Amino acid sequence: MSDTQNNKVTPIGTTKMPKHIAIIMDGNGRWAKSRSLPRFAGHRVGLEAVRKTVQACTEYGIEVLTLFAFSSENWQRPTKEVSVLMDLFLTALKKEVKKLHKNNVQLHIIGGLEAFSDKIQARAKESEDLTAGNTGLKLVIAANYGGRWDITNATKKLAAKVKAGELEPEDINEQMLGQYMSLSNMPTPDLFIRTGGEQRISNFLLWDLAYTELYFTELLWPDFSKGELDKAIASFTRRQRRFGLTGDQIEKVAGA
């Protein structure tokens, strides 16, 4: 099902791999419910799907993988489920970061981390520091993250510069605002994947997904596999990304 080139495995038929894949991992609770299991069981099995996806992206030479782990709206879920998610997050940071480090993965955590416990904040910083020098896949975990929060946060930083007299309002442009977004130092996501059957982006990376190719699957996240990732990537490679241009313009540039 794959070939090897420069020690990186590539799915059959792909000529242009996405540099950055972003995923909403939806369906853990429904997966558990369908098996008469408590919701936290779905979250635990979902962690294994994360491991497989990280491994596949590493093999394929993907530059960045961004996973929506916990949204700013998820605090509204039942208290017990939130508590389990927090414990799972802390456990994952403890157990998984050494494996990530061993596999040359660089970990980044974005979002309003100040809402988490001191223990989680400390562990997150330790994890990022440990992997900071790695040169392989950049794994971005969005936790207590929301796209509107991200844009608002960036706007506040620019407003502070205007207030301090360091910047004139008329000098603010799209590129400048983009420099203050959470993923400003990453390539823009090429491919967005959402599992679980819902076809919306749910306040995830609103700024960054402007020209991202969207892929939705009915598959629930715990059942997500390397094969499903291959399908999403294959779908991506068949699309013509125009970024506001016409198809003829893109073909002309490609043939130049």
In terms of Cβ atoms closer than 10 Å to its own Cβ (0-12, 13-18, 19+), residue 59 is middle
Q: Which of 26, 150, 190, 208 is catalytic?
A: 26
- Distance CA(18)–CA(193), nearest Å, equals 12
- Distance CA(84)–CA(118), nearest Å, equals 17
User: Could you tell me how far CA 29 lies from the centroid of its own chain?
Assistant: 20
Characterise 5 by phi-psi region: left (phi > 0), alpha (psi -120 to 50), beta (else). Answer: beta
74 labelled catalytic: yes
Q: Which of 3, 6, 7, 74 is catalytic?
A: 74
Count how many Cα atoms sit within 13 Å of the Cα of residue 76 in the half-sphere of its side chain. Answer: 3
Dihedral of CA 117/73/20/2: which sign?
positive
* Catalytic residue set: 26, 74
